[in-house]
Amino acid sequence: MEGFGKQDSVLNSRKFFVILALLLYCTAAQQSPDEWFLRWPPPTTAVAYRTAQPPVIDGRTDDPVWTSAKWSEPFVDITGERSRAPWYATRMGMAWDDSALYIAAMMEEPHVWATLQQRDTVIFQNNDFEVFIDPDGDNHQYVEFEVNALNTVWDLKLEQPYRDGGRGNTKWNAEGLRTAVHIRGTMNEPADIDTSWSVEFAIPWKVFEDLTAAHVPPLPGNVWRVNFARVEWPVEIVGGSYRKPAKGEENWTWSPQGIVNMHQPERWGTVEFLEEGMTPEHPDVAMENARRAVMEVYHAQKQFFRMHRRWAYDTQELNAALSRPLNAFVRIEITEEGFVAILPLGSEPESDAVIVRQDSKISPSQLP
């Protein structure tokens, strides 16, 4: 897995420094719990192995690549709350080669239905499966794919999240995207009981080339930010037809978001791309915790700005105003555009750092 340290000694120093900072942060968190912080589950991790034989994109999951793939655990509620466990199982698997990223999902479903047939309509008004990908994990320049049981696709690109003024570009189409759906049962037939439906994606690497400066296709050991979701509408059968009740949809995800909002990319999980036979690296917990620390300052700054119409000058001011246990090692600098929050990853003057801007773009960077 790619890291940001230059030498083992620097890496160890970095991790010690960040862990010390986070221990202090956790102590404060225990003294002043905040629901927003508590609702941030750790990211789920996955691996995608290179395949020598790409799957046939027909919606079925009986290709050799899928029988040998490492499938996910069943999806959970988007909030991560165990009391809201999904009532139908959903699993996904990934694979890759030099041409494309391959994704498959299997969804238990006793009533397979769909109505939307026009591309780029709001597909989550039907039951659907959704894919979110941010190649370099900077919260900007990411893509979303949604597919219903009729294999109707909604693909869109976002320059930045909606919370930062981003808008989904629905005119964008993923060139070369292939999807297919297979139904184990019948479509739009309330009189019987179905078993499941499954979906396959083949996403060419060229789709991601203008989203990131990272290597595309990824190199073995590279890590991308991803998440997967399933929208499930509880339906009633009235007069021999399906009807959506007034209550809203269920959102089930691979990596829980902690909140009902998929467009918080810092909360997504990760996938590590590997050659067959390679052993996955352990997640870089120190880096993940550092990313979380600066993103918590970002969210606190947004709340502070709504209250005071200006940005706070330091974490002490944020703590006093919001009673939030923010990491005291995060440094805030006010800029012409807004602010940056910086967490050094070591004690040396030229240590690497994790930096987030007022528009939530996050990056590990060398301090000037």
> What's the pLDDT tens digit per position in 8-26?
443 444 444 444 444 434 4
Specify whether the backbone of 333 is left (phi greater than 0), alpha (psi in -120 to 50) or beta: beta
pLDDT of residue 364: 80
Determine how β-strand 90-96 pairs with β-strand 100-108: antiparallel
Average pLDDT value over all residues in the chain? 89
Q: What is the value of pTM for the model shown?
A: 0.89
Q: How many residues does the chain have?
A: 368
> What's the pLDDT tens digit per position in 302-340?
999 999 999 999 999 999 998 878 999 999 999 999 999
pLDDT of 38 strictly over 60: no
Ranges of H-type helices in 234-284: none
Helices and strands, number each (H, E), in the chain: 5, 18
Which residue is listed with tokens 């974490």? 315
DSSP H or E run through 353: strand 352-357
| Phi, then psi, of 26 in degrees rounded to 5 | -65, -35
Could you tell me the strand order of the sheet in which 362-366 lies?
331-334, 339-344, 352-357, 362-366
The domain spans of the chain are 8-39+283-366, 45-274
Give the integer Cα–Cα distance in Å for 284 and 292.
12
250 near 260, Cβ under 8 Å? no
Hey, what CATH topology would domain 45-274 get?
Immunoglobulin-like (2.60.40)
Exposure class string for 10-26: b at 16+ Cβ within 10 A, else e: bbebbbebbeebbeebe
> What's the pLDDT tens digit per position in 214-240?
899 999 999 999 999 999 999 999 999
